Amino acid sequence: MTMDEEDFAVYLLKLGELTLKGGNREGFERILQRNLAALLRSTSSQIRAGKGRFFVRCPEKNSSSVEEALDRLFGIAGWAKTRVCEKTPEQVLAACVEEGRKIAGEGLKTFKIEARRSDKSFPLDSYGICCAAGDAVCEEFPALAVDVRSPERLISVEIREKAYVYGTARSGRRGLPVGTAGRGLLLLSGGIDSPVAGYLMAGRGMGIDAIYFHARPYTPEEARDKVVSLAEIVGRYTMGIKLYIVGFTEVQKRIRERAPLPWTTVLLRMAMMEAAEKLARKLGDKCLITGESLSQVASQTVENIACTQSGTVLPVLRPLIGTDKEEIIRTACAIGSYETSILPYQDCCVLFSPPHPVLRGDPLEARVLYGALDAGALIDEALKKAELKKCGIPAVS
């Protein structure tokens, strides 16, 4: 049995920031295409790369899965389900009239045609297309009028190797394709912030590995499962994620035995940094990423941040440093991590947290106290026993 053209859907993807990247553009487009292909692997889609545009053709029955994948993809400015027709004025106008039918059917009153002509041999120029198509739509649907200033809907026409006609395009996730900016190691806790931090860095093109520290048996298994779920959620946008789960109970005990109580949280952070940096070097990750936000909690004053990173050579990226909690929560809701983050399981940091933590630690004092812990071997041992949980590139439903 052969399928009719009507059984297929075509999507036009507008490439985002990467169109600006001059000499790097080809490499960026190749990675974008690879990411797209991976997300679409179960949808029987074909991808075609054109100038500033990608096209996806899939069986119509898979179109909602394709849309789900497009919604997860960093590196596209927008996308639209498009009509494809031959490059004749008659066919283009007919397609615009069909779009007009949809608009009229929704009871809307105004529209505007936007046209681009990269094939200059097409008999009408962009302005000519706009006039002719606007007239054709109004003639067929007298209730509709052209409004060039603030139309309720757009009808877009692009004359390329074929003619493409589509209604308003959906916004893409923008940013840069994951994999164009090296890899970083995300310190992923069970909280609201760090999943958002990983998501934001992925949007700048960074591949993400993750490390989570737990304190079994003091933290429940549910806390670990929650972080695995968060890694899976972040992994939807980061082309999968490798999560290293590291038992930190012995390190925390050592801190409790040897450190002044007010310093325990900062010293724990320092130990996390040492462990994360060791793992990052092994994995070839070029930086550490945390969900810290200035002054959000006692350990995140600028002085304590100085203590936390005092032993770290790799750059520590903190994409949320100047972001307020409301905004972080908004992003967490939008990416689907919030509901999981607020599940009430205790993190290992809360476990031994002192009633009166130091608020403005001195980095030199911090180094001395940290040295006295002599925690290097414990950290190496914890890393050796780390559990690896691979969250692959999630298939679309």
Residues forming the site for ligand ATP (CB under 6 A): 187-189, 191-194, 211-213, 272, 290-292, 296-297, 299-300, 347-349
Q: Which is nearer to Mg ion, 58 or 320 (CB)?
A: 320
**Shortest Å, Cβ 208 to ligand ATP:** 12
**Shortest Å, Cβ 152 to ligand ATP:** 41
Q: How far apart are CA 223 and CA 343, in angstroms?
A: 9
Amino acid residing at 7? D
Three-class SS of residue 77?
strand
Q: Which is nearer to ligand ATP, 80 or 245 (CB)?
A: 245
Q: Which is nearer to ligand ATP, 40 or 280 (CB)?
A: 280
Q: How far apart are CA 36 and CA 28, in angstroms?
A: 12
255 makes contact, choosing from Mg ion, ligand ATP, none, with CB < 5 to 8 Å by partner type, with none
Interacting span for Mg ion (CB under 5 A) from 191-199, 227-235, 255-263, 387-395? 191-199
Q: Which is nearer to ligand ATP, 82 or 249 (CB)?
A: 249
| 36 closest CA partner among 20, 22, 57, 51 | 57
Q: Which is nearer to Mg ion, 191 or 205 (CB)?
A: 191
**Shortest Å, Cβ 211 to ligand ATP:** 6
Q: Which is nearer to ligand ATP, 70 or 208 (CB)?
A: 208
| 60 close to 8: Cβ distance less than 8 angstroms | yes
Instruction: Give the total of residues touching Mg ion (CB under 5 A).
Output: 2
The residue at minimum Cβ distance from Mg ion is 191
Enumerate the H helices of the chain as residue ranges. 25-39, 63-72, 89-105, 126-140, 193-202, 221-235, 249-258, 264-283, 302-308, 325-335, 338-341, 348-351, 363-373, 376-384
| 84 close to 13: Cβ distance less than 8 angstroms | no
**Shortest Å, Cβ 364 to ligand ATP:** 22
Query: Which tokens is 3 given?
Result: 């399928």
290 makes contact, choosing from ligand ATP, Mg ion, none, with CB < 5 to 8 Å by partner type, with ligand ATP
Rg from Cα positions in the chain:
26
189 part of the interface to Mg ion, by CB under 5 A: yes
**Shortest Å, Cβ 207 to Mg ion:** 23
Q: b/e per residue, 119-149, with b = 16+ CB within 10 A?
A: eeebebeeeebbebbbebbbebbeebebeee
| 76 closest CA partner among 203, 186, 166 | 203
**Shortest Å, Cβ 192 to Mg ion:** 8
Amino acid residing at 125? D
156 makes contact, choosing from ligand ATP, Mg ion, none, with CB < 5 to 8 Å by partner type, with none
**Shortest Å, Cβ 244 to ligand ATP:** 10
Q: Which is nearer to Mg ion, 147 or 221 (CB)?
A: 221
| 291 close to 345: Cβ distance less than 8 angstroms | no
**Shortest Å, Cβ 222 to ligand ATP:** 14
39 Cβ neighbours under 8 A, 6+ residues apart: 69, 72, 73, 239, 393, 396
Q: What is the DSSP string of 222-265?
A: HHHHHHHHHHHHHHTTTT-EEEEEEE-HHHHHHHHHHS-GGGHH
The residue at minimum Cβ distance from ligand ATP is 191
Interacting span for Mg ion (CB under 5 A) from 136-144, 185-193, 214-222, 382-390? 185-193
- Interface residue with Mg ion, options 100, 151, 177, 191 (CB under 5 A): 191
Q: Which is nearer to Mg ion, 189 or 301 (CB)?
A: 189
Positions touching Mg ion (CB under 5 A) are 189, 191
